[in-house]
């Protein structure tokens, strides 16, 4: 079909129309986009002279001529119009427009995204600047508080370290099978030394000391006085069964190899150095003429593997071992969870309640613990705990300190329900709550990364008194019905009633005082407990005179009357602030009788005068 060429009436662009059926319909110019009606143009003849192409070269070399063709009309190609009726060209045009539209939308969307990103970045940057400025403003306060806490903790721990009575190396697990969960480090010769404080302490443990002596002899074949250091390790086995026991021994004097081998006869295993002997169900390692180790024969290989290195055990125990001191007279390192699980098979039935109370006091935040005692001129007690990683050491320290402060009242509540039948135990049990009160007041604490330490330092009399008081109170608790209502623990197998002391007689009672930076209120409380006299402190009156209830008191007397102990505090013997205040005449502590006439109110002389009270004169 011949092509119809239609010029655009607006711009002159010639349109090439292949389908003549479209003539009379509307079309759009692809150049100027104007719509017009397609009409067939008037015909014009155009003659073009077409020159035939030159013939190919002939082999004969002759030239030939061709006749010129008849003249034809020639029209250059033009773009087809876009028409409303659709078709392939319509689809192409729509795709072109859609592509342009998409490109435009992408450009616009990109610009919007860039603008939004800029806004978000700006807002975020401004917020970060404000937060940084706020943090910077608060940082000195926060860092100051944190640094102060760190400094205080370090000072506390340094103070406790400086108070240590020994500086020995840590307890090790050489020559011990793997899996030890209770480790006892003991210096038997010190506890069996005649007329020593350690011996008196052992005597006050009663049947426990007797049992310990027989057990040491049975395990080591030597008497306790012959052993300088003994390390006993308990390795748990199956549940509800006794643990396996291994021990490392350092003797006071050298023994010949023949003597040691005679005590532990058996077959020698030559694969190890030092020599290992197996006899029945026991393994014996001859280290040198003063040292040896014993344990179960089934653990001989593990003991041999631990000759030069520590045996493998719980990681918390291994870490806590580094904080121990093998020179302490007695150290007990343990896993609280194991003691609770194995108490029915490891301990006597009557020891269960006391053990559970102690484990409850430690709480679930404590993973391992080591308790040590050293008795050399004074009573030095130390408890080091390794807390759970999820608990803050400072938080555990606060909770345990609070429980320690509450302990005397809990013991007093329990003792009030006891009824000892003998005078001696009755008096000691009656004084046991006051002993624990002194213990709590004399205990200092500190904490650092996953470690909490409590240290108590008291005079030499505290050790046997606490040992005997603990033993008798525990023994009496096994015969006490704690479900009964509280009653006086003063029943004695005697028909004569006890004489009630007068206030003057109580003031002349002889007591022992050993205050080492003890707070003022605690010093008065201790004297009140010892004298069985009620004393109340008028805190506001003391504050007006520049005194606080936490002012430390430091002085000691082996024997002093209650009245003179009170005068020592009032006259400033234990604190220079009180003494200077008296010298300058700015204030002085005094006391007067309360409404009952059998107790005292502690205040200042000015306060007493202002209240119209009569000051009590101590003699």
Q: Are 15 and 7 in contact (CB under 8 A)?
A: yes
- State whether 453 and 588 are in the same domain: no
Close Cβ partners of 184 (under 8 Å, ≥ 6 residues apart) = 230, 231, 232, 233, 330, 331, 332, 333
Q: Are 334 and 182 in contact (CB under 8 A)?
A: yes
pLDDT attached to residue 93 = 60
CA angle centred on 527, ends 526 and 531, rounded to 5°:
120
- State whether 428 and 508 are in the same domain: no
Which residue has better confidence, 58 or 108?
108
Beta strands in 434-579 (DSSP E): 443-448, 451-459, 510-519, 535-537, 552-561
Mean pLDDT, to the nearest integer, of 169-178? 94
- For the cut 60, the answer to whether the pLDDT of residue 81 exceeds it is no
Mean pLDDT, to the nearest integer, of 91-96? 56
pLDDT attached to residue 49 = 45
- CATH number at 554 reads 3.55.50.30
| Lowest mean pLDDT across 411-425, 459-473, 586-600 | 411-425
Name the phi and psi angles at 547, rounded to 5: -105, 150
- State whether 326 and 413 are in the same domain: yes
- State whether 325 and 471 are in the same domain: yes
Confidence band for 105, pLDDT divided at 50, 70 and 90: low
pLDDT attached to residue 501 = 85
pLDDT attached to residue 531 = 87
- Cα–Cα nearest to 81, from 124, 42, 21, 31: 31
- Give the Cα separation of 239 and 237 in Å (integer): 6
How many helices (H) and strands (E) the chain has is answered by: 18, 22
Domain boundary among 43, 67, 85: 85
- Give the Cα separation of 195 and 212 in Å (integer): 19
Identify the DSSP state of 336. H
Confidence band for 493, pLDDT divided at 50, 70 and 90: very low
596 domain-assigned: yes
User: Is the dihedral angle over the CA atoms 122, 125, 131, 133 positive or is it negative?
Assistant: negative
pTM of the model: 0.60
**Tens digit of each residue's pLDDT (9 = 90 or more) over 500-555:** 789 899 999 999 888 878 888 888 988 988 888 999 999 888 888 889 888 889 99
363 dihedral zone (left: phi>0; alpha: psi -120 to 50; beta): left
- State whether 418 and 541 are in the same domain: no
- For the cut 70, the answer to whether the pLDDT of residue 134 exceeds it is no
DSSP per-residue letters across 540-575: HHHHHTT--TT-EEEEEEEEEEHHHHHHHHHTTTT-
- Give the Cα separation of 297 and 309 in Å (integer): 20
- For the cut 50, the answer to whether the pLDDT of residue 78 exceeds it is no
Mean pLDDT, to the nearest integer, of 207-219? 93
- State whether 286 and 406 are in the same domain: yes
- Cα–Cα nearest to 341, from 243, 206, 426: 243
**Tens digit of each residue's pLDDT (9 = 90 or more) over 417-454:** 898 888 788 889 999 999 999 999 999 999 888 999 99
Mean pLDDT, to the nearest integer, of 378-393? 93
- State whether 270 and 314 are in the same domain: yes
Q: Are 384 and 370 in contact (CB under 8 A)?
A: yes
348 domain-assigned: yes
Alpha-carbon distance values, 384 to 325, 393, 400 (Å): 11, 12, 12
H helix or E strand, kind and range, residue 232: strand 227-235
- State whether 80 and 200 are in the same domain: no
pLDDT attached to residue 525 = 86
H helix or E strand, kind and range, residue 156: helix 88-162
Strands 275-279 and 267-269: antiparallel
- State whether 410 and 556 are in the same domain: no
Mean pLDDT of the chain: 82
139 domain-assigned: no
| Lowest mean pLDDT across 94-98, 167-171, 354-358 | 94-98
- Give the Cα separation of 156 and 146 in Å (integer): 15
Collapsing DSSP to helix, strand or coil, 286 comes out as strand
Identify the DSSP state of 495. S
Name the phi and psi angles at 348, rounded to 5: -60, 155
**Tens digit of each residue's pLDDT (9 = 90 or more) over 347-371:** 888 888 889 999 999 999 999 999 9
13 domain-assigned: yes
Counting the structural domains of the chain, the total is 3
Q: Are 527 and 565 in contact (CB under 8 A)?
A: yes
Confidence band for 614, pLDDT divided at 50, 70 and 90: very high
Strands 14-17 and 451-459: unpaired
Mean pLDDT, to the nearest integer, of 377-387? 94
**Tens digit of each residue's pLDDT (9 = 90 or more) over 228-271:** 999 999 999 888 889 999 999 999 999 998 999 899 988 888 77
- Give the Cα separation of 564 and 70 in Å (integer): 153
Mean pLDDT, to the nearest integer, of 400-422? 90
- State whether 191 and 53 are in the same domain: no
Cβ count near 22 (within 10 Å): 17
* Pairs from 612-617 (Cβ < 8 Å, separation ≥ 24): 615/590, 615/591, 616/590, 616/591, 616/592
588 domain-assigned: yes
| Lowest mean pLDDT across 38-52, 142-156, 371-385 | 38-52
Which residue has better confidence, 499 or 340?
340
293 domain-assigned: yes
Alpha-carbon distance values, 301 to 174, 309, 372 (Å): 13, 13, 31
- For the cut 80, the answer to whether the pLDDT of residue 318 exceeds it is yes
Cβ count near 312 (within 10 Å): 15
Confidence band for 124, pLDDT divided at 50, 70 and 90: low
Domain boundary among 61, 85, 109: 85
Which range of residues forms the domain containing residue 73? 1-85
Domain boundary among 85, 112, 129: 85
Close Cβ partners of 357 (under 8 Å, ≥ 6 residues apart) = none
- Give the Cα separation of 94 and 374 in Å (integer): 99
**Tens digit of each residue's pLDDT (9 = 90 or more) over 320-329:** 999 999 999 9
496 domain-assigned: no
pLDDT attached to residue 65 = 40
Percent of the chain with pLDDT over 90: 42
Alpha-carbon distance values, 442 to 27, 76, 410, 432, 451 (Å): 109, 116, 18, 15, 20
- State whether 69 and 7 are in the same domain: yes
130 domain-assigned: no
- State whether 26 and 73 are in the same domain: yes
């Amino acid at each position: 079909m011949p092509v119809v060429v239609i010029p655009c009436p607006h711009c002159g662009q010639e349109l090439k129309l292949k389908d003549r059926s479209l003539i009379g319909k509307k079309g759009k110019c692809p150049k100027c986009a104007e719509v017009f009606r397609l009409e067939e143009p008037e015909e014009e003849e155009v003659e073009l002279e077409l020159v035939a192409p030159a013939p190919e070269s002939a082999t004969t070399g002759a030239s030939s001529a061709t006749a010129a063709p008849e003249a034809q009309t020639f029209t250059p190609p033009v773009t087809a119009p876009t028409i409303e009726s659709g078709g392939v060209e319509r689809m192409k045009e729509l795709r072109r427009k859609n592509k342009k539209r998409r490109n435009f939308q992408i450009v616009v969307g990109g610009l919007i995204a860039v603008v939004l990103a800029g806004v978000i970045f700006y807002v975020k940057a401004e917020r970060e600047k404000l937060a940084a400025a706020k943090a910077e403003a608060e940082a000195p306060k926060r860092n100051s508080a944190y640094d102060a806490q760190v400094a205080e903790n370090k000072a506390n721990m340094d103070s406790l370290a400086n108070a240590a009575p020994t500086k020995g190396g840590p307890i090790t697990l050489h020559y011990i099978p793997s899996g030890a969960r209770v480790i006892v480090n003991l210096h038997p010769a010190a506890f069996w030394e005649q007329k020593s404080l350690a011996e008196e302490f052992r005597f006050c443990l009663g049947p426990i000391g007797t049992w310990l002596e027989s057990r040491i002899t049975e395990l080591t074949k030597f008497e306790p006085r012959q052993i300088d250091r003994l390390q006993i390790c308990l390795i748990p086995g199956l549940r509800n069964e006794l643990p396996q026991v291994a021990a490392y021994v350092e003797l006071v004097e050298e023994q010949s190899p023949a003597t040691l081998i005679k005590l532990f006869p058996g077959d020698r295993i030559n694969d190890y150095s030092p020599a290992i002997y197996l006899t029945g169900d026991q393994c014996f390692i001859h280290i040198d003429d003063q040292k040896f180790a014993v344990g179960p024969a089934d653990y001989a290989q593990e003991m041999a593997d631990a000759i030069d290195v520590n045996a493998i055990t719980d990681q918390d125990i291994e870490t806590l071992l580094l904080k121990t001191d093998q020179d302490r007279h007695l150290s007990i390192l343990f896993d609280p969870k194991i003691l609770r699980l194995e108490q029915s098979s490891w301990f006597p039935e009557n020891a269960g309640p006391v053990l559970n109370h102690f484990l409850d006091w430690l709480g679930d935040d404590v993973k391992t613990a080591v308790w040590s005692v050293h008795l050399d001129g004074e009573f030095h007690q130390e408890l080091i705990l390794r807390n759970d990683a999820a608990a803050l050491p400072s938080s555990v320290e606060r909770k345990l300190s609070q429980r320690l402060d509450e302990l005397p009242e809990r013991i007093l509540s329990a003792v009030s329900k006891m009824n000892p039948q003998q005078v001696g135990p009755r008096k000691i049990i009656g004084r046991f709550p006051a002993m624990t009160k002194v213990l709590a007041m004399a205990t200092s604490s500190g904490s650092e990364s996953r470690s909490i330490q409590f240290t108590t330092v008291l005079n030499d009399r505290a050790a046997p008194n606490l040992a005997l008081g603990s033993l008798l109170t525990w023994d009496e608790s096994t015969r006490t019905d704690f479900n009964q209502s509280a009653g006086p623990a003063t029943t004695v197998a005697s028909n004569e009633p006890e004489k009630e002391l007068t206030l003057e007689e109580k003031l002349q009672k002889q007591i022992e005082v050993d205050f080492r930076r003890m707070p003022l209120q605690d010093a008065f409380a201790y004297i009140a407990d010892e004298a069985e006299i009620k004393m109340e402190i008028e805190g506001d009156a003391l504050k007006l005179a520049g005194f606080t209830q936490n002012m430390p008191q430091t002085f000691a007397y082996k024997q002093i009357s209650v009245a003179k102990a009170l005068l020592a505090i009032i006259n400033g013997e234990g604190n220079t602030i009180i003494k200077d205040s008296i010298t300058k005449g700015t204030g002085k502590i005094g006391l007067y009788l309360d409404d009952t006439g059998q107790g005292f109110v502690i205040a200042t002389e000015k306060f007493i005068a202002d209240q119209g009270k009569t000051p009590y004169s101590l003699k």
